[in-house]
């Protein structure tokens, strides 16, 4: 996924394997957008998602561990791609998230 996004012209910061590292990276600077799996090293990613939401960062959830309806209720501005999905679909969802501006 990282190489696909880089080939499409995105600068990728990560991947991050846990919530702590993800939050530490956000502390260094607000990203333009984020792709999040719902589970990171056995932890729910929601503290990261809440932080990004508060900062106005567009989010794409890319997960096989969550229900899109539940995510839409909690994060109505976020996009969602079920795993597995094609790289093109994930890239399209990222573009839509950025265009919508969170």
Contacts by 94-100, CB closer than 8 A, 24 or more apart? 94/5, 94/10, 94/33, 94/35, 94/60, 97/33, 97/58, 97/59, 97/60, 98/32, 98/33, 98/58, 100/58
Residue 4: the pLDDT is 87
Domain ranges (residues) in the chain? 2-100
For 11-43, write each residue's pLDDT tens digit. 999 889 999 999 999 999 999 999 999 988 889
For 33-82, write each residue's pLDDT tens digit. 999 999 888 899 999 999 999 999 999 999 887 788 888 999 999 999 88
CATH topology of domain 2-100: Rossmann fold (3.40.50)
* pLDDT band of 102, cuts 50, 70, 90: low
For 3-12, write each residue's pLDDT tens digit. 888 988 999 9
């Amino acid at each position: 996924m990282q190489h696909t996004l880089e080939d499409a012209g995105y600068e990728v910061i990560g991947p991050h394997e846990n919530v702590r590292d993800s939050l530490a990276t956000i502390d260094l600077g607000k990203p333009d957008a984020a792709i999040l799996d719902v589970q990171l090293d056995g932890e729910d990613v929601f503290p990261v998602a809440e932080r990004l939401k508060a900062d106005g960062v567009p989010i794409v959830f890319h997960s096989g561990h969550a229900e899109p309806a539940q995510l839409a209720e909690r994060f109505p501005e976020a996009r969602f791609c079920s795993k597995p999905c094609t790289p093109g679909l994930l890239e399209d969802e990222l573009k839509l998230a950025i265009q919508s501006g969170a």
